[in-house]
Chain A
Amino acid sequence: MIEVFNATVVYGGNSQRLEAVRNVSFNVAAAEVFGLVGESGCGKSTLLRAIAGALPLARGRIALADRDVGLHRTREERRLVQMVFQDPYASLNPTHTIDKILAEPLAIQKIKAIDERVSQALAEVGLGLEHRYRYPHQISGGQRQRVAIARALIMQPGILLLDEPTSALDLSVQAEILNLLKRVGRSRTLTMLMVSHNLAVIAHMCTRIAVMYEGEIVEMLEVERLRRGEANHPYTQRLLTASLDGAAAA
């Protein structure tokens, strides 16, 4: 469903060229949940944004559902990939009501029965109808993240990109959001690509992970092997030890 081949993303001009992502390749099968893990600045979010169509590739190619995609995409290609962001405060327009946030994508894609679809979307993410005409500042961080998930799902995408969807949330809320994502992923047979610095969260959600370090994928492994502590690369091992320490449990 997702094919990334030799992808390189470059920031800056000639004088201050920074290869944020370097020659990264991986495939994600349909309905698979794949995780990209790494620490700040390793390029994982940059890669996700390139897949989302927000950043150009300097080299390599990205194919979604067997079609090469670039920066400029058709409306249909846009609809296929949706994203849930890290910061639930920045990902919703503060001047729009929840209703408007959910209705806008339908209007853009010229989908009928907006009213009904908005109610359905709210119900699917476990938000009561009383939230419909609220503004983002009137609801909690967890509820905002639910709205962001509803906004992504209302487009009926095949692929969901998750950019640290719970790292700004409380632990108890994180559990609720992760359960929700797992549930909708299964019920809609979504292909999901999740980025996180949190190994425990990635291990909980994914079946296979890629570990990124300084712009490159240093290791790819099954989550089962991770659980057994069978990581090969020294960086993966360091990450694993730090995460098991408890210090990183958030």
Chain B
Amino acid sequence: MTAESVPRPAPWRDWLLADAPRSRAQARLGRWYGNWLLLKRNSLAVSGLVVVSTLVLIALLAPWLSDQSPYDQLLTARLLPPSSDHWFGTDELGRDIFTRIIYGSRITLLIIFLVSIIVLPVGVIIGTAAGYFGGLLDTFLMRVTDIFLAFPRLVMALAFAAALGPGIENAVIAISITAWPPYARLARAETMTVRRSDFILATRMQGASALRIIWSHIVPLCLPSVIIRLTFDMAGIILIAAGLGFLGLGAQPPAPEWGLMVSSGRDYLLDQWWVATMPGLAIFVVSFGFNLLGDGLRDIFDPKSQ
């Protein structure tokens, strides 16, 4: 990142950074803008964000980025090396690898999205409930969590995927089932640190219900660290999804899933290196991007570093 240029006074900027906001909306937007300024100053976070938003853009603009189809086979053009016609070469069925990687980003994003919306609520609800109520409920929920944590992730995901049958939806379910326990642990730990806070007691003294305290006080305070953790885990989730695809338990051919593509390119690794390498690089870049973003977010939002 280059140094920030001296900001010219812009009215909207003053409005956002106003020391005394005049409405709820202005206060909230101002807070977001303040966080954005912090994020902008952190070069790690910015490079991660660039990678992740590029991924989203590529997924959205896939049909415009390539005029070929990810599925059309052309057996006369099998295993062509990278060239100006086929930037990343072609695979064993003559499909353009560049196009397939572009369309594959949609599958990757879908997996990320589905896993997040399953894992986040499950982890946060179980963790905050265990942490806030304590006692028997805590013991029960944490033992269940321990049981799930005791299995190696990939093996467990494999078992679930095998039991549920191959397919992308089942892969997502399998990954989610193995991914939530650390989030429950984390949310519980965060809850334990805030539940004895004075402001929680003050809210209890107002007659607030447990549900209200958890929802409006504890969850917002747990979310940053849980989201940061999820960003870090994204790399692992993408890898597990690719791993399941590679082993034939995730997305099924002819879907342009990156792991599946690496798997089919394995047979040609020595002579046609690009078939497996290109989707492998895509997995690497996206995982790395999420890791960078997670690092940056942690620097910004981790209360301990402030």
Direct contact of A and B (CB under 8 A): yes
Chain A residues proximal to chain B, CB less than 8 Å: 49, 52-54, 73-75, 78-79, 81-83, 85-87, 90-95, 97, 99-100, 104-105, 108-109, 130-131, 133-135, 138, 148, 151-152, 155
Taking the complex as formed, is B38 at the interface, i.e. its CB lies under 8 A from any CB of chain A?
no
**Is the Cβ of B201 less than 8 Å from the Cβ of A83?**
yes
Please, how many residues of chain B have a CB less than 8 angstroms from a CB on the other chain? 25
Nearest CB in chain B to that of A106: its residue: B206
Nearest CB in chain B to that of A98: its residue: B27
Smallest distance from the beta carbon of B222 to chain A beta carbons, Å? 11
Smallest distance from the beta carbon of A52 to chain B beta carbons, Å? 6
Q: How many A-B residue pairs have CB under 8 A?
A: 81
Taking the complex as formed, is B117 at the interface, i.e. its CB lies under 8 A from any CB of chain A?
no
**Is the Cβ of A135 less than 8 Å from the Cβ of B27?**
yes
Chain B residues 198-233 with CB under 8 Å of chain A are: 198-199, 201-208, 212, 216-217, 220-221
Q: Which 8 pairs between the two chains have the least Cβ-Cβ distance?
A: A130-B20, A78-B207, A91-B198, A75-B207, A133-B27, A133-B21, A105-B206, A85-B198
Point out the residues of chain B lying under 8 angstroms from A152, CB to CB: 202
Chain B residues 17-31 with CB under 8 Å of chain A are: 19-24, 26-27, 31
**Is the Cβ of B198 less than 8 Å from the Cβ of A90?**
yes
Q: What would be 30 A-B contacts, judged by CB atoms less than 8 Å apart?
A: A52-B205, A53-B204, A73-B207, A78-B205, A78-B206, A78-B207, A81-B205, A83-B205, A85-B202, A87-B198, A90-B199, A91-B198, A91-B199, A93-B199, A93-B221, A95-B221, A97-B27, A99-B24, A99-B27, A104-B208, A104-B216, A105-B203, A108-B206, A131-B20, A133-B24, A133-B27, A134-B20, A134-B27, A152-B202, A155-B206
Point out the residues of chain A lying under 8 angstroms from B207, CB to CB: 73-75, 78-79, 108-109
Smallest distance from the beta carbon of B202 to chain A beta carbons, Å? 6
**Is the Cβ of A92 less than 8 Å from the Cβ of B199?**
yes
Point out the residues of chain A lying under 8 angstroms from B24, CB to CB: 97, 99-100, 133
Chain B residues proximal to chain A, CB less than 8 Å: 19-24, 26-27, 31, 197-199, 201-208, 212, 216-217, 220-221
Smallest distance from the beta carbon of A212 to chain B beta carbons, Å? 21
Point out the residues of chain A lying under 8 angstroms from B27, CB to CB: 97, 99, 133-135
**Bound complex: CA A49 to CA B204 (Å):** 12
Point out the residues of chain A lying under 8 angstroms from B204, CB to CB: 53-54, 78
Please give 5 more A-B residue pairs, beta carbons under 8 A apart, in addition to A108-B203, A130-B20, A133-B24: A52-B201, A54-B205, A90-B198, A93-B199, A104-B203
Point out the residues of chain A lying under 8 angstroms from B208, CB to CB: 104, 108
Nearest CB in chain A to that of B221: its residue: A95
**Is the Cβ of A95 less than 8 Å from the Cβ of B220?**
yes
Smallest distance from the beta carbon of A147 to chain B beta carbons, Å? 11
Nearest CB in chain A to that of B19: its residue: A138
Point out the residues of chain B lying under 8 angstroms from A90, CB to CB: 197-199
**Bound complex: CA A168 to CA B291 (Å):** 40
Nearest CB in chain A to that of B28: its residue: A97
Point out the residues of chain B lying under 8 angstroms from A49, CB to CB: 201
Q: Which of B202, B208, B212 neighbours the largest number of chain A CB atoms within 10 Å of its CB?
A: B202
Point out the residues of chain B lying under 8 angstroms from A74, CB to CB: 207
**Is the Cβ of A133 less than 8 Å from the Cβ of B205?**
no
Known contacts A95-B220, A108-B212; is-contact A83 B20 (Cβ 8 Å): no
**Bound complex: CA A35 to CA B39 (Å):** 48
**Bound complex: CA A5 to CA B212 (Å):** 33
Smallest distance from the beta carbon of B221 to chain A beta carbons, Å? 6
**Bound complex: CA A109 to CA B206 (Å):** 8
Nearest CB in chain A to that of B201: its residue: A54
